[in-house]
Structure 1
Amino acid sequence: MQILRCPAQLQLLEEALRKSLPTTLPVLGTVMTVARGNPASHEVLVDSWPHFGIVLTRLRPEEHRDPRDYYTNQLAVFYRDKGALQALLGGTEAVTGARAFQIMGMQDGLDEAVREVASARGLKVETIQHRALISPEPPQPRFSMPPSSMPRCRIPPGLRLAPVSPSHVPLLNATWALGGNARSQAFLLGLVRTLPSACLLGPRGRPVCWSLLDGQGCLRHGYTVPAWRGHGLTGVVVAAIGRELHARGFPVYGAVRPHNTASLRALQAIGFLPQPGTFYMILGTPK
């Protein structure tokens, strides 16, 4: 596999990946994040250049510190044919028996292929399916107001829009379905420190609603505390990040569990459109 480091190469790859949206969403988002400062310390690999059969994004090897940390060891894959995928998985660039991982992709067959290889190498595998949604325009909360005045005018009294602070991470970790441990807290802290985020703070400075951006350029980790649900707050925080992403040329997208109907409705209410296919998140951990 060849690592792409040249800005011109990354730009050409970005243009090629855009032609295959939405299937390329997690890979495209990572490539764009790498090309714009690389705050998540990822790298981009292809099997050949400029004509490629597969693209892999992954954490840079020198950043691996904990072999059981699948939160940080994130990979994303897009392939033009299954032969290229099998060739990748047959090596050690993506899956080894000694390291936990999290692989993301939106192609049918990825789950089965990764599961087969990982299981054969002694890893425990779990697949979490999401529904991807894209906002074709800068997202707007459901109240119709100009973007410049919307958050200030429509936020309920006593709430304030702000970035998520590192001091808020324990709360985020406690409410995250995959969180609640030291590894997940360290991962969330890294996102908060390096990537865009938004939250609404209550009178005592405690977040009541929030959303983060991950290294794949995906709006994730959204949550509203029960007492504040039903007020359209998700639209405010997502729109705040989404407009920034749109201005920088990123696809504005999120990934939501299919059964999370409240979040699906909240995103569609501000202009997000459900995409075909499944957004796979495949977790592998050493037994």
Structure 2
Amino acid sequence: MKILQKEQVLIAERVLLKYLPRSFQVYGYLCGFNRNKPSNVQFIVDQWPDFQVIMSRPDREQEHTFVPDTKIYCTDEQVLKKMLTQEDIIDWSTYIPGACNASFTSMLKEVSTKRQVSYRRLLVTHSMYLPDSTFLPKPTFGSEVESKISSLNLSHVDLVNRTWKYGGDERGYNYITFLISNFPSCCITDDQGQPVSWILVYDYLAMGLMYTLPKYRRKGYAKVLAHAMVRRLLADGFPVYCQIDEENVQSKKLFKNLGFTEDPSYRDVCFEYNI
């Protein structure tokens, strides 16, 4: 096991670029770290430089107001299994949210048994991404809607937290505060300047937390904001991708219409240990 230093994180980003879209979630954390975005994770590999497992985990030298995800990209399941069962790369006494290849689900359950900790599979997601910016269609919204597009600020944290499927508690509040303070966001406001539809970017640079208040649905706001966010991410040199819940047919259709694609043979599983 090895903890990567800053110059090695730069190299790891270039390596994982070759394995997109399967490496997106760890790649996103690497990109943010290498572009000086606030990061409360560190990166672990089984060996260097020819690693088969790379993992993000909470930085043990920092205090955390929320628990960052443990993301895993792996080309050899047995190497990963050995690391999880025989090495102390994870603090098994704490709550551990994370994501990795969905094909590792059985192995993760086996690890939980050996470690005597609880395990839950939260959901399975599609990794959708924009392979080429030329695939992005031209915006179809007018200047009136565009004039209502702005960014979220800290006064909006409670609203976003209350409407987020996985929020509603202090942990969600702290996480959304972190995202709005440090990462891109887009929203459409009403005549009083209050957000009615929005999209954020997770700390691993995936677009997400998209939501429109019920009163304002069926106006095309989600498409407008997704389009605006894509343009902003492209301008900032960030990867353009999202994780879509397997059952969220509507969001998958929306991003497909924006030129996004996916590897149909691949899924990510989001999991929790020590629930």
The two structures share one fold, judged by TM-score above 0.5: yes
In 2 relative to 1, CA 153–275 (structure 1 residues): closer, same or farther, beyond 3 Å? farther
Distance in 1 of aligned mates of 2:82 and 2:14: 25
Amino acid at match of 2:4: L
1:283 — aligned with what?
272
- What is aligned with 1:26? 25
Partner residue in 2 for 1:155? 145
Distance in 2, matches of 1:196 and 1:48, equals 34
What is the root-mean-square deviation in Å for CA atoms of aligned residues? 2.3
Secondary structure of 1:109's counterpart equals helix
Residue identity matched to 1:235: K
Equivalence map 1:236-275=2 (5 Å):
236-275=224-263
Distance 1:154 1:92 in 2: 55
- The 1-side partners of 2:134 and 2:182 are apart by 22
Q: Answer whether contact 2:70 2:97 (CA < 8 A) is retained.
A: yes
Gaps of 5+ in 1: none
Equivalent position amino acid for 1:177 in 2? K
- Counterpart contact for 1:34–1:41, Cα < 8 Å: no
SS at match of 1:92: coil
TM-score by length of 2: 0.90
Matched, 1:72 2:62: no
Percentage of identical aligned residues: 24
> Shift of residue 239 of structure 1?
2.4
Residue 29 of structure 2 is aligned to residue 41 of structure 1: no
Counterpart for residue 125 of structure 2: 130
Q: TM-score with structure 1 length normalisation?
A: 0.86
1:241, CA displacement in angstroms? 2.4
**1:113 correspondence with 2:113:** no
Q: Distance in 2 between matches of 1:206 and 1:139?
A: 33
Name the aligned partner's letter for residue 192 of structure 2: R
Deviation at 1:285, TM superposition (A): 2.7
One-letter code aligned to 1:83: Q
Query: Which residue pairs with 2:176 in the alignment?
Result: 188
TM-superposed deviation, 1:284: 2.0
Distance 1:228 1:138, change over 3 A: farther
String of CA shifts for 1:90-110, please: whole Å, max 9, x gaps.
1221351x10011112x2432
- Alignment size in residue pairs: 272
Q: Deviations over 1:150-206 (max 9, x none)?
A: 7662617xx611111111111111111111111111111111111111111111222
Distance in 1 between residues matched to 2:233 and 2:133, nearest whole Å: 8
Q: Distance in 1 between matches of 2:249 and 2:24?
A: 22
